[in-house]
């Protein structure tokens, strides 16, 4: 018995494993020394200030293709005003060719970029969310804030432009600056009312305005030919 116990104690113990244990530790990060650069990835969830699960549960479609196209047309173009000077200055061939080339080489690529990034970051915020994930919150705030300022200034030009068009086409004279300011303020208030009533009202109104503009422009074009 003593010899057997001594033999067992003296015999080497060998542990044989037939499989490799699963590694729970992540692989080493090659961008560990670059600060927050390793977090910039389209796979990572974008930061948000709300519960993403609740937003996905309550999300439902409000606008269709026609509504979105109508809003984009009214917001970005809203008619042929501004293109007459291009045609009259450069001629029909150069002017129309420029419009077509601009659409092919600028508008379509930009539309594809927006579609891809909106699919990668499907949440409210637009390009502010894209910049947030790429460059951080500081530059995201800069982009969002100055874009808002540009939108306010651009919208402030619309009442004056509409009043000038009305004065030029109907040969009306307004001698008082106070009256002119009040008319511009009234135009701005009237144009701002649909934005308070909801997205559906904006889309329907944009569709109506777009149809009126396109029909009138088509009639005048055929009449000129």
The reported pLDDT for the residue numbered 113 is 92
Task: Reply yes or no on whether the pLDDT at 122 is more than 70.
Answer: yes
187-203 pLDDT, tens per residue? 989 888 888 888 888 88
- Over residues 101-114, mean pLDDT: 91
Contact 194, 201 (CB under 8 A): yes
User: What separation in angstroms does the CA of 186 have from each of 5, 96, 169, 180?
Assistant: 105, 36, 20, 10
* Between 5 and 89, the higher pLDDT residue: 89
Tokens 């196209």 sit on residue? 69
Confidence of residue 106 (pLDDT cuts 50, 70, 90): very high
pTM of the complete model beyond 0.85: no
pLDDT of residue 50: 46
Q: Distance between CA atoms of 119 and 125, rounded to whole angstroms?
A: 13
Question: How many CB atoms neighbour CB 109 within 10 A?
Answer: 10
pLDDT of residue 2: 47
Q: What is the pLDDT of residues 19-32, one digit of tens each?
A: 455 555 555 555 55
Question: Residue 25: phi, psi to the nearest 5?
Answer: -80, 140
């Amino acid at each position: 018995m003593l010899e057997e116990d001594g033999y067992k104690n003296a015999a080497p113990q060998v542990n044989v494993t037939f499989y490799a244990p699963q590694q729970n530790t992540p692989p080493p990060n090659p961008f560990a020394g670059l600060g927050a650069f390793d977090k910039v990835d389209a796979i990572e969830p974008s930061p948000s200030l709300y519960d993403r699960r609740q937003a996905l549960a309550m999300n439902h479609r409000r606008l269709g293709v026609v509504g979105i196209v109508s809003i984009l047309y009214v917001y970005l173009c809203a008619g042929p005003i501004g293109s007459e000077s291009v045609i009259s200055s450069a001629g029909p061939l150069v002017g129309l060719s420029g419009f077509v080339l601009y659409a092919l080489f600028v508008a379509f690529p930009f539309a594809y970029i927006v579609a891809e990034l909106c699919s990668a970051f499907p949440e409210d915020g637009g390009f502010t969310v894209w910049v947030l994930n790429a460059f951080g919150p500081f530059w995201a705030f800069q982009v969002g804030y100055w874009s808002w300022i540009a939108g306010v200034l651009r919208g402030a030009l619309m009442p004056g432009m509409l009043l000038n068009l009305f004065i030029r086409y109907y040969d009306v004279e307004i001698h008082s600056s106070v009256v002119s300011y009040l008319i511009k303020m009234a135009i701005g208030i009237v144009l701002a009312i649909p934005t308070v009533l909801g997205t559906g009202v904006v889309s329907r109104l944009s569709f109506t305005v777009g149809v009126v503009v396109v029909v009138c422009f088509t009639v005048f074009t055929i009449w000129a030919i």
